[in-house]
Structures are given as structure tokens and as C-alpha cells.
């Protein structure tokens, strides 16, 4: 939903930073020996991500309790430890972790900034893709709720892939595909829904619809809107009580078109729906 700039750090810069805090010389040597493999598969990831196809990279699936070899004599657990210990907990790897996290500017890209990113999420889960455990382009800042919603579900088709904040087409970030309608209950509320443009391909439309459903965007946006709506009703009853319904509608539209909100921001969509709803802006409050 929100675009993030692609991390500038390359796969090898990240891999070597994490290796720097490995003290076991034998392990370090063995990890060094597979760096060509890591670089090669990372390049494949980036090439596939650019065309929206990372789902086509085969996942590692193995019986519980096994610790398979990924390349040469390096096991899955050793790559996961390179992330969990040498990137999350130790410098200099942690420095890169923080740079990627801070780049989200406190707004989670998956839910359109409702949540604050607390950690990095592996876009392709590390349990099934240990070779990408420390690949910067696979690490996305993510809030706790999105991390829970996303879980470790594997995309099995192009449609199933969450919108990738680093790689996906601009249309997902610049065009509007989330809308709302007003429920004139008391108190009134907003119902958000996803309606991608009909000009988009079926796959693109399905990806937007699935992203909206999988991250529970509708319910989460409505909760945000509820507080704002009650403050707005107070404003209409007080400071804005003397303006006409048409002026009130224009005021709502002006908030919606504020440049500070991205295309699918809950607040932009909320004010857009209210500005267009005759029953709302004409309602005696």
C-alpha cells in the first residue's frame, strides 16, 4: 500500500556484515564458501521480484525436526542464525537492520501506515527461504498486526502475493483502489472496501483484493476512522455550525485532497466518501 525505497545495500554487503560478527572460524570459512551461491540466488530473487514473480521461487519444505543442507555443507539453521543472532542482535549486522527499519519512517507499508513497524519481516518467509534470511531486499519493516496477519503463508499463485513495497508496480501505490461508503447509523461509521480499477489486469486486481483481505485493511481502517469521525461531528456542531451543507462538503473535499496523504490513506478516503455523501453533509447534527 505504501511504497518504500529499495534498500541500497547489496546481498553481499549484507551477508559480509553479518559474517563479521561470527567468531567460530570454521563456521565463518564454511559460510564464506557459499557466498557465491547466496549472491546468485539473491540476483534471481531481485529479477523475479521486479516482474512480480517471487512466488515462483520454489520454497524449502521439509519434515518437522529436520535441518536440511541448503548449499555445500551449510544447513538451514546456520543461515537462520546468521539473521537471528548476527543481524538482529549483533553489530555490525544490527546497524543495517536499523537502517532498513528506520527507512519506513514509522509507517508500516503493508497496512498503509496504521501500524508502526517494530521489526523486519521476511517477505519470503525465512523458514521456507533460508537463503534470503539476510537479503536486504527481502526484509520489509512491518508492524506487529501485519506480521501476525501475514503469518508464514506461502503464495502459491501470482495472485496470492502481498504487495511488495520495494518492487511492485507504481499503480498499487499511486492509484486509488480502496474506497469507503458512509453508514448513517448513530453514530455513523465508514465501511471500507477494495475496488481496483477495471483497466488493471485480473492478476493485479486480485492481488489488491487479496492484500486488502489478508491484512484485514477494511476493519482496521474503520477503527481509525471512528475516532476521526466523532471529532468531525463535534467540529460540525461547533466551529463549523454556521457554514452551509455545500460549504461543509467542500471543506471535507479539501481535507481529502491534502497532499500529505497517499492515494489509499484511510483519512483521504474517509473525507472523500463524506464529501460525496449528500445524506451525510446535509444531515442535521
Where along the sequence are the contacts to Zn ion (CB under 5 A)? 108, 110-111, 115, 143, 146
Of 116 and 250, CB closest to Zn ion: 116
- In the complex with Zn ion, which residue's Cβ is closer, 168 or 277? 168
Residues pairing with 69 in the sheet: 75
Q: Compute the least distance from the CB of residue 111 to Zn ion, in Å.
A: 3
Q: Which is nearer to Zn ion, 49 or 108 (CB)?
A: 108
Geometric angle at alpha carbon 156, from 154 and 158, rounded to 5°: 115
* CB 163 to Zn ion: min, Å: 12
Give least dist CB 120 to Zn ion, A. 13
Q: Are the CB atoms for 143 and 114 separated by under 8 Å?
A: yes
Q: How far apart are CA 52 and CA 109, in angstroms?
A: 17
Nearer to Zn ion, 146 or 275 (CB): 146
DSSP 88: S
Instruction: Please give the torsion angle defined by the CA atoms of residues 25, 26, 28 and 34, in that order, rounded to the nearest 10 degrees.
Output: 160
Closer Cβ to Zn ion, 248 or 266, answer by number = 266
Provide the minimum distance between the beta carbon of 220 and Zn ion in the complex, in angstroms, as a whole number: 8
Residues 6+ apart with CB under 8 A from 245: 281, 282
User: Measured from the CB atom, is 87 or 146 closer to Zn ion?
Assistant: 146
Shortest spacing between CB 195 and Zn ion, in angstroms: 21
Distance of closest approach, residue 117 Cβ to Zn ion, in angstroms = 7
Instruction: Please provide the DSSP assignment of 169-235 as one string.
Output: -THHHHS--EEEEEE-SSS-EEEEEE---TTS-HHHHHHHHHHHHHTTHHHHHHHHHHHHHHHHHHH
Amino acid at each position: 500500500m505504501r511504497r518504500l525505497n529499495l534498500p541500497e545495500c547489496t546481498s553481499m554487503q549484507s551477508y559480509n556484515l553479518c559474517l563479521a560478527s561470527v567468531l567460530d572460524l570454521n563456521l565463518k570459512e564454511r559460510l564464506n564458501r557459499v557466498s557465491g551461491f547466496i549472491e546468485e540466488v539473491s540476483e534471481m530473487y531481485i529479477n523475479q521480484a521486479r516482474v512480480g514473480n517471487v512466488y515462483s521461487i520454489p520454497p524449502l519444505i521439509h519434515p518437522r525436526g529436520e535441518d536440511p543442507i541448503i548449499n555445500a555443507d551449510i544447513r538451514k539453521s546456520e543461515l537462520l542464525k546468521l539473521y537471528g543472532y548476527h543481524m538482529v542482535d549483533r553489530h555490525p549486522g544490527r546497524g543495517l537492520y536499523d537502517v532498513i527499519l528506520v527507512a519506513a519512517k514509522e509507517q508500516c507499508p503493508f497496512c498503509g501506515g496504521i501500524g508502526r513497524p517494530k521489526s523486519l519481516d521476511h517477505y519470503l518467509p525465512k523458514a521456507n527461504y533460508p537463503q534470503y534470511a539476510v537479503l536486504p531486499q527481502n526484509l520489509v519493516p512491518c508492524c506487529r498486526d501485519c506480521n501476525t496477519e501475514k503469518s508464514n503463508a506461502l503464495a502459491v499463485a501470482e495472485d496470492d502475493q502481498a504487495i511488495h513495497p520495494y518492487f511492485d508496480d507504481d499503480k498499487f501505490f499511486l492509484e486509488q483502489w480502496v474506497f469507503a461508503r458512509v453508514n448513517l447509523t448513530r453514530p455513523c461509521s465508514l465501511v471500507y472496501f477494495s475496488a481496483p480499477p477495471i483497466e488493471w489486469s485480473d492478476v493485479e486486481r486480485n492481488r489488491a483484493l487479496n492484500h486488502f483481505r489478508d491484512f484485514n485493511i477494511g476493519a482496521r481502517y474503520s477503527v481509525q476512522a471512528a475516532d476521526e469521525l466523532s471529532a468531525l461531528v463535534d467540529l460540525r456542531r461547533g466551529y463549523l455550525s454556521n457554514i452551509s451543507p455545500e460549504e461543509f462538503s467542500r471543506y471535507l473535499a479539501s481535507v481529502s485532497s491534502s497532499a500529505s496523504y497517499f492515494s489509499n490513506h484511510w483519512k483521504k478516503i474517509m473525507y472523500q466518501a463524506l464529501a460525496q455523501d449528500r445524506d451525510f453533509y446535509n444531515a442535521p447534527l
